[in-house]
Structure 1
Amino acid sequence: MSTTNRVYLVTDSDISQRAGHTVPFVVEEACRAGIRWVQLREKTMSTRSFVELGLTFKTITQRYGARLIVNDRIDVALAIDANGVHIGQDDMPYPLVRKLLGPDKLIGLSVNNMIELLASQAYADIDYLGVAAIFATPTKLDTVSELGALGLRDICLKTHLPTFAIGGINATNLQSIGQTGVTGVAVVSAICGHPSPYDAARQLIQLAQSYENIHPGSDNCRL
């Protein structure tokens, strides 16, 4: 996995707007900087608007050779032919998601603790794990506890899958989790809320270079 794939942008329209950006602008600038993972996450948008935004994202991500992942909404992912979906513990069960999407789409699963990690090991064809929450974050207020670097390390040691840490990660603390064995980091505010999404993405990619070859994932990894 290249260093450009070690930073994963998760979008947020509200945070982007507060920073003076449209979310397609953020995606364009992040991809231009080298981001190759973009997750479309919208919790309150209508289905029509979600699909329209997804199609806009798809045009941008295809231009840069980036992967487009849809959060939660399998119907939207199918409608826009996204590269895959990311699901949480309270979303549609993984086996059903895989049945609907087929074997060729990427599916990521969030795990928040060791119990959820062990349960996920029943599914051999998950593509990657999102490990949350590492630090406190205003974008996910229902987080019960913070894993921190030690909790993240424990989870990474127990899985062969690629892992993306998420939750309060930014340029000031990204390197503090570099020796946990994590594959990469997923960020929201650190790019969407930055005055320059391009500069923020470039800086994060450079900082993530220290993760190279630490935890490349399984031999049959598709990332």
Structure 2
Amino acid sequence: MRPPFDPTLYLVTDTGLCRPRSVADVVRAVVAAGVTAVQVRDKHASRRELLALTRTVQAAVVDHPGVAVVVNDAVDVAVLADADGVHVGQDDLPVEEVRALIGADRHLGLSVSSAAELDAALALPPGTVDLVGLSPVWETPVKPDAGPALGPARAATLATAARAGGLIAVAIGGITLDRAAEAAATGVDGICVVAAVCPEADPAGAARRLREEIVRGRLAQVAR
């Protein structure tokens, strides 16, 4: 049985930012420090390379069976690696067809950047999409083509609508340690980070500090 998807602190990998360490070494350190899910992303890798990378990440989390591993975009790689799921964008394969390919038990995430895109996701047959990535909350150099920033207020509105429709919502884009609490306070189920962890000299320490900020942001939301 696959682990329930815990999006609290969701790491999206970046091979270049992890260097000179391997992605697997960074993942191994941060899952021990509080990262709850990992998305394997490498836009420069071939499919064969991405498959190998995914398998090294799966091996890195083997001692943490509650940490799900999903693959960005590459549905074929997710199936071949028997990953826990896949995350796709608006310009990738249609999510209904992706769901048919990956089966009912794998997790399926979809990036959304507007109310219209969220409405379209909510209108899909139940069980098609499990999670929406609200992107980008802030501008991010990691993905300069991500579109205009939503900002925390719009992200909060979208998170509320997603939750009302039965979807998990995570915030991604420009989330630094200084912004993690503000992102968590929008009411999302978790935050996604890349540059806040991958290039850090102490990625495990960065993950622990991010978890602390998530708790602080959630407490601030409750207090409102």
Structure-1-length-normalised TM-score: 0.89
Shift in Å, 1:185: 0.3
Partners of 1:50 and 1:11 in 2: how far apart?
A: 12
Say if 2:17 is the partner of 1:15: yes
Q: Distance in 2 between matches of 1:63 and 1:178?
A: 27
d(CA) in 2 for partners of 1:88 and 1:5?
18
**More off after superposition, 28-37 vs 110-119:** 28-37
Letter of the structure 1 residue corresponding to residue 82 of structure 2: D
Distance 2:147 2:50 in 1: 28
The one of 122, 128, 133 equivalent to 1:130 is 133
Residue deviations 1:39-72, cap 9 Å, x none?
A: 0001011121111111111111222121000000
Paired residue for 2:88? 87
Is structure 2 residue 36 aligned with structure 1 residue 41? no
1:144 to 143, 147, 150: 147
Identity of matched residues, %: 35
Distance in 2 between residues matched to 1:44 and 1:148, nearest whole Å: 29
Superposed displacement of residue 21, structure 1: 2.1
Separation of aligned partners in 1, 2:32 and 2:187:
27
Q: CA shift at 1:5, angstroms?
A: 4.3
How much does 1:169 deviate?
Answer: 0.2
CA contact (8 A) 2:109 2:131 kept: yes
Work out the CA distance in 2 between the residues paired with 1:6 and 1:114: 23
Output the TM-score relative to the length of structure 2. Answer: 0.89
What is the root-mean-square deviation in Å for CA atoms of aligned residues?
1.9
Aligned to 1:164: 170
Counterpart contact for 2:14–2:42, Cα < 8 Å? yes
Question: In structure 2, which of residues 169, 185, 193 is the aligned counterpart of residue 179 of structure 1?
Answer: 185
Distance in 1 between the 2:45 and 2:7 partners?
28
> What residue is the counterpart of 1:59 in the other structure?
59
CA–CA separation in structure 2 for the residues paired with 1:42 and 1:112: 21
4+ long deviations beyond 3 Å: none
SS at match of 1:158: helix
What number of residue pairs does the alignment pair up? 211
